[in-house]
């Protein structure tokens, strides 16, 4: 009898399942809007010039590949903190901020979750309704019960702010609240800054534990602007966890570049917290890999490369914004009477299009345009060649 006889087949990952189906589709004009990846106007995943230059320098240095410290490359961690808090933040000099290089944003969430489970074994985790689909699974796997708080309002295609605030206000103390700091995935709907101020107030007054997830810094309004929520919480003296992902902002998906940052209340506390976090990392993967971390660290700490990066990131952000504008215009041009202006207010790579599951099925079956069944489309997968076809296909399923 096989040891694995009783193992059941797990359900397919919905988004990766979509990719398989897309790859098998033989239609020449097929378009995959189901992905969570930025494509350039040529439909390719870009290799950023700043990354390319940092990689060449790294290869030419013939550096040995010894183990990194458990918490990763110091310059990388400092760079990640600076992106979050701003270079003039007094917190940076205070010795209260701790950052560990992590295996992507997912890895940062995972070591954060394991650490929190040890610290707050009876706390629950709440995520937005809806949220990035891995949030729930990841925190459940770490041993937490995961519930949701109100977030998206399908009727207004916007935020259910009153519902969100009421839900947060009714949580028991020390509930762990996962918040998308900018460019909410999957909806593209973010609270305004004034709404964030109210959210921060509730988090502070109710003694909740915020875990900010920032996977799209630079894709909303800009690198500094998109960190406003992190800086707001920091100013309110809230102790918290933050997971950063550089997968999209550096177009380094496969290198697993991310970071976990904890804002503690003193330098002495930071030391104790770091010692425990290092145990979590040591028993998960021991220490992070060198290549992606070295590249990101080089870009963040070399002024010319940093400038190059901010320009390349701005170009990605502006291209996406331009695709939003064009899509809304082209839908109108193809005779769509519903108002799609909400797409212009949405932030980041995604848009909750409002298409129903049925319409998403028809888009795929009749037109070869793939979207997530929730109606989420990746605006960053549109380009000058496919946008007209996509707008026409959407118009047809809406007619
Ligand atoms: N959080 C959110 C909200 C995301 O959308 C993603 C990536 N899709 C991640 C975390 C994970 O990022 P990474 O690929 O760096 O693990």
pLDDT in tens, 301-334: 999 999 999 999 999 999 999 999 999 999 999 9
pLDDT for 12: 81
Could you tell me the distance, in angstroms and rounded to a whole number, from the CA of residue 337 to the centre of ligand 1?
A: 34
Ligand 1 center to 105 CA (angstroms): 5
| pLDDT band (50, 70, 90) for residue 11 | confident
CA–centroid distance, 186 to ligand 1, in Å, is 11
- Mean pLDDT over residues 19-31, rounded? 94
Residue 14's CB is within 10 A of a number of other CB atoms, namely 12
135 confidence band (pLDDT: 50, 70, 90) = very high
State how far the Cα of 57 lies from the Cα of 62, in Å rounded to an integer.
9
Q: Has the ipTM of the complex gone over 0.90?
A: yes
Residues 61-114 pLDDT 10s: 999 999 999 999 999 999 999 999 999 999 999 999 999 999 999 999 999 999
For residue 240, the Cα-to-chain-centroid distance in whole angstroms is 17
Name the catalytic one among 114, 190, 213, 226.
213
| Protein residue with its CA nearest to atom 7 in ligand 1 | 215
pLDDT of residue 14 exceeding 80, the answer is: no
Let me know if 132 is a catalytic residue: yes
Active site residue 248: yes
Q: Say which of 110, 190, 226, 248 is annotated catalytic.
A: 248
Tokens 């490369």 sit at which residue?
305
Beta carbons of 269 and 96 less than 8 angstroms apart: yes
Ligand 1: list residues with CB < 6 Å.
36, 104-106, 132, 180, 185, 213, 215, 245, 247, 258
On whether the CB atoms of residues 232 and 200 are closer than 8 A, the answer is yes
338: number of Cβ within 10 Å:
9
String of b and e for 240-263 (b: at least 16 CB within 10 Å)? bbbbbbbbbbbbbbebbbbbbbbb
Tell me, what's the pLDDT at 92? Answer: 95
pLDDT grade for 139, boundaries at 50, 70 and 90: very high
Residues 190-208 pLDDT 10s: 999 999 999 999 999 999 9
pTM of the model: 0.96
Residue 81 Cα to chain centre, angstroms: 17
Euclidean distance between CA atoms 43 and 361, whole angstroms:
23
| Ligand 1 centroid, distance to 301 Cα (angstroms) | 24
Counting from 1 in the atom list of ligand 1, the atom nearest the Cα of 245 is 15
Confidence check: pLDDT of 251 > 90: yes
Confirm whether 196 is a catalytic residue.
no
pLDDT of residue 15: 79
Q: Containing H/E element for 377?
A: strand 376-378
Within 8 A by CB and 6+ apart from 66, the residues are none
Percent above pLDDT 70 for the chain: 100
What does the block give as tokens for 243? 């997971």
213 Cα nearest atom in ligand 1: 1
pLDDT, tens digit, 9 for 90 and up, residues 148-207: 999 999 999 999 999 999 999 999 999 999 999 999 999 999 999 999 999 999 999 999
pLDDT of residue 171: 98
């Amino acid at each position: 009898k096989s040891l694995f006889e009783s193992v059941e087949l797990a359900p397919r990952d919905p988004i990766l399942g979509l990719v398989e189906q897309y790859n098998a589709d033989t239609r020449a004009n097929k378009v995959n809007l189901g992905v969570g990846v930025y494509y350039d106007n040529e439909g390719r995943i870009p290799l950023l010039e700043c990354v390319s230059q940092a990689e060449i320098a790294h290869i030419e240095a013939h550096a040995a590949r010894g183990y990194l410290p458990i918490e990763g490359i110091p310059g990388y961690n400092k760079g990640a903190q600076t992106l979050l808090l701003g270079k003039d933040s007094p917190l940076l000099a205070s010795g209260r901020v701790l950052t560990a290089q992590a295996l992507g944003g997912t890895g940062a969430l995972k070591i954060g979750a394991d650490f929190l489970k040890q610290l707050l074994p009876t706390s629950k985790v709440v995520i937005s309704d809806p949220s990035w689909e891995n949030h729930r699974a990841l925190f459940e796997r770490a041993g937490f019960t995961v519930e949701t708080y109100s977030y998206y309002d399908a009727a207004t295609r916007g935020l259910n702010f009153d519902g969100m605030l009421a839900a947060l206000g009714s949580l028991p103390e020390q509930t762990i609240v996962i918040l998308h700091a900018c460019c909410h995935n999957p909806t593209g709907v973010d609270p305004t800054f004034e709404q964030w101020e109210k959210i921060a107030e509730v988090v502070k007054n109710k003694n909740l534990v915020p875990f900010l997830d920032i996977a799209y810094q630079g894709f909303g309004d800009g690198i500094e602007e998109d960190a406003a929520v992190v800086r707001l919480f920091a100013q309110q003296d809230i102790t918290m966890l933050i997971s950063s992902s550089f997968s999209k902002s550096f177009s380094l998906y496969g290198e697993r570049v991310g970071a976990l940052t904890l804002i503690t209340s003193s330098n002495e506390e930071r030391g104790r917290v770091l010692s425990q976090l290092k145990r979590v990392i040591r028993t998960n993967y021991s220490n992070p890999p060198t290549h992606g971390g070295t590249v990101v660290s080089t870009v963040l700490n070399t002024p010319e490369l940093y400038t190059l990066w901010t320009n390349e990131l701005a170009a990605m952000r502006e291209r996406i914004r331009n695709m939003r504008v064009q899509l809304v215009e082209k839908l109108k041009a193809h005779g769509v009477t519903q108002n799609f202006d909400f797409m212009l207010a949405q932030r980041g790579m995604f848009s909750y299009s409002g298409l129903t599951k049925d319409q998403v099925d028809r888009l795929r079956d009749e037109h070869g345009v793939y979207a997530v069944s929730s109606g989420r489309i990746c605006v960053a997968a549109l380009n000058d060649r496919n946008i007209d076809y996509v707008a026409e296909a959407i118009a047809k399923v809406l007619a």
